[in-house]
Structure 1
Amino acid sequence: MVIVYTGLPLRNARGPRDLLEALVHAMIGYINLLDQDYQHHDISNGNILLVEPFEVASSSDEILGTRHFFGIRKCRGILVDGADGKEQQANRRSLQNTLPFMSQDMLDEMDWPSNTTHTALDDLESFIWVLVWECLHKGKSRNSLSNWDLKSLDGFKDCCPQHLASFKGAFLSTCRNVDPELEDSFLSPLAVLLAQWAGIRSEARRQMIALEKIRRRLSTDDSDGAAQVLDKMDVLCRNTGLKYVHAGLGHLANLGEAWALS
């Protein structure tokens, strides 16, 4: 569900656990949107709000048509402002609006247009960038960033889509390989999760590229076959979202309540 709601910006998170919990809860909301054939298309730090934990009514599943709550009965974060959202089958090429949070593929599409399909995988990747962005800015405010952190923060500021896409590709590679750079990083408490999310994203992207090639080959000659491929793409996106959430929930217990001291 996408709603207009009064909450707090993510920068008000009390610590890494609080921030991740809000993001994962918003991600659960996003997955439920997918079950209603809807994509948000603008996942950013401004469209995820911290809220005082509220009870999720037992009847919400039926009222909202939602399927996934993962046993969570109190919500800490919500997804808002779906003005850029699209029904999945209606428009798959809309680009996200906020550069720092756009997926690597959508940034490449801005620089080298090739009719790349915008899928939920792009939205899910944006959750990674929201987490990293918020943590790095929190670390900056506490004078706690390593040299690698500072370089990463500068990478986010590049307004050239091609440069930003290259930075994000290198960043995800660093996370996936659990590079030693992460040991001294303000992101170190999240290193294991970032490695998991980067791996999930990489495998899903590999499968999506293969499906996209099949879809393009079939679209003009076999509309029914192309529709079946689109269905497979939707299933891949939903399953990938569930993997992101399970990894995030599993990592919450490893995080502290407060931000690290400088």
Structure 2
Amino acid sequence: MTFVLTLVIAGLSVGSIYALIAITLNLTFWTTKTVNFGQGAVLMLSTMGTAFLAQSGVPWLAGLLGISLSAMAMILAERISVRPALRISGSMGWAVSTLGFGICIQGIVSKYLGAQAVAFPDVVLSATTFVNVFGLRIGAQYLVILAFSITTIIALDLLLKRTVWGSVVRAVAQDRELASVFGIPVARVVTISFALSGALAGIAGILTAQIIGTVDPAFGFSLLISGFVAGVIGGFGSNWGALVGGLLIGVIEQLVGGFVSAAAGHGLSLALLMIVLAFRPHGLLGRPELVKL
């Protein structure tokens, strides 16, 4: 029983990381109706940058610089990979261009920072810090990740529903052209959403790297896939759906991985994705999109 509880708690923490990544994809999906497949590389850029900047002896400052770096990378991705593709009506070129942007970042990092895994410093909490939960010694980092993900979702939900900026984002999400006619600076709103998405992706990468202990140029790809799966299962565009989807596949992967194998856990999460899409194509908490004819 103790082993199962440990796996469940670890699954909730890992799943909250998936949820956080799904939320970063939602931020850009709302304003551009695109999915940034270069998000994994942006996440990796933050962690690799933090790992190397931390050699100066100030890990928390390195973390802030790493997060800023990922935010700037996302702004660049929007300018050169998404915006040009959206000028062509009905184009899916953004899928290829964002993926190419991510591959380019990964190649640059591999060339100048090395392709080998490097140790990641203790930016938030030490790996030796534990907390007693129901008589179990759980790493404090797991609980910090879970608390941060839930807090982020609540904050974004309030931001979208209770602030002027949230109303602007919802207006852009519903009709970009009409929002522009009413004087809303659509390009600026999109840029801010990409910057915020990059910053949150950077934070997700740092929190994940704290648990793993090492980071390399391929670090973000598997996280991107898991975050995307969490978003689709929960309902793309829904933050609460992202949380449900992330926690669900996180717990499944940890339980199956603990009793069978990690590969079986990943396979089962993908099987769950296919089942959900078969019966609820818009996800567990997502809503079908209405198209005006």
Q: TM-score, normalised by structure 1?
A: 0.30
Q: TM-score, normalised by structure 2?
A: 0.27
Q: Which has the higher contact order (CA 8 A, sep 6+)?
A: 2
Greater C-alpha radius of gyration: 2
